[in-house]
Amino acid sequence: MGSPLNSAINVMEINILVLGEETWVVDPGVTLYCEKDYSKVNIYHVHNKGLFYLRKDFSWVKIDGIIWRGQFESNSEKQKYILEIIKLSDVTCINHPDVTLNCSSNLSMYYALFKAKMPVLQKQISSFGKSTLDFIEPDLPCVCKLGNYHMGYGKMLVRNSETWRDFIDTAVLLNEPITIEPYINYKVDIRCLYIGGQMKCIERKPNHWKANVNPAEVISYDAPKQLLEMTADFASAIGADVIGTDWILDENDNWKVLECNTGPGLVNFEQDCRLINEILLKRIDKKQ
């Protein structure tokens, strides 16, 4: 297997690596590589030489730009290490690795929203360690989360003291970080999607209490201007090119942001892919 360091590079070819997606929209003049599974990615960086990716035919190619679409669900340390390599290589990336790293976990994402003075749904308790659970008495009902992930994973609705004991029994076995937040009997659940200054919004009709997990229906939503502005301001504050913010409207008609997502699901896949491609290609062109 030859090394890319001794091979000539076609300066007209633009090689884009998309991490976290099986498919992506290809633009003219671009060679696209998609990797859904981070554990199968082979990349390396050499100082002043660039970032190189191992293709399916076991040949190496120099990467000009990266689109990061991943979520931190499992193997998070491996994903963070890949981001650190990308950051070190200075290859153009959407979003910048720092943006993704700073919002990579449930608590880091929450802190970013809190620091930006977003109307975030405040967490009652954050803890780690088996022994802490015997000293916690949350206000019920509440939502308990096992693990430090995004997107509704590991969440349980605790309605009464009996289900709280059930949660403790499970949590003790897993010994994962725990966060507890109030349960809100919401009227509406929406996502505001920001891509390079353009805004879209969807409403998610729930199948059960977690509207962001397998919703019964997803429809376009005319979000209040204030929510769109806050999402855009937050994106600017953390340096994000692409971000989704999840909001609920409570029984008192107050909007609360639940979380942000630096690799959000796209509303119109082809259209949104092309918009992200455009942002990336313009930035690559400026560096050349």
Per-residue pLDDT for the chain (288 aa), expressed as one digit of tens each?
444 443 433 445 899 999 999 999 998 999 999 999 888 899 999 999 999 999 999 999 999 999 999 776 555 788 889 999 999 999 999 999 999 999 888 888 999 999 999 999 988 888 888 788 888 889 999 999 888 776 667 889 999 999 999 999 888 888 888 999 999 999 999 999 999 999 999 999 988 888 877 788 999 999 999 999 999 999 999 999 999 999 999 999 999 999 999 999 999 999 999 999 999 999 999 887
Tell me how far apart the alpha carbons of residues 19 and 34 are, in angstroms, rounded to a whole number.
6
Query: What's the pLDDT score for residue 157?
Result: 94
CATH of span 107-119+185-261: 3.30.470.20
Query: What's the pLDDT score for residue 100?
Result: 92
Stretch(es) of the chain classified as CATH 3.40.50: 4-102+270-287
CB 126 within 8 A of CB 106: no
Query: What's the pLDDT score for residue 72?
Result: 63
Stretch(es) of the chain classified as CATH 3.30.470.20: 107-119+185-261
Token code pair at residue 69:
């679409």
Tell me how far apart the alpha carbons of residues 256 and 270 are, in angstroms, rounded to a whole number.
30
Tell me how far apart the alpha carbons of residues 81 and 83 are, in angstroms, rounded to a whole number.
5
CATH of span 4-102+270-287: 3.40.50
Tell me how far apart the alpha carbons of residues 276 and 111 are, in angstroms, rounded to a whole number.
26
Write down the number of H helices and E strands in the chain.
6, 16
Q: Which fold has domain 125-182?
A: Dna Ligase; domain 1 (3.30.1490)
Query: What's the pLDDT score for residue 238?
Result: 96
Query: What's the pLDDT score for residue 216?
Result: 87
Omega before residue 160 within 30° of 0, cis: no
Query: What's the pLDDT score for residue 212?
Result: 78
Query: What's the pLDDT score for residue 73?
Result: 58
Q: Which residue has the tokens 């204030």?
A: 226
Of the candidates 14, 26, 20, 13, the one whose C-alpha atom is nearest the C-alpha of residue 274 is 26
Dihedrals phi, psi of 132, to nearest 5 degrees? -70, -30
Query: What's the pLDDT score for residue 150?
Result: 65
Query: What's the pLDDT score for residue 42?
Result: 96
Query: What's the pLDDT score for residue 85?
Result: 97
Stretch(es) of the chain classified as CATH 3.30.1490.20: 125-182
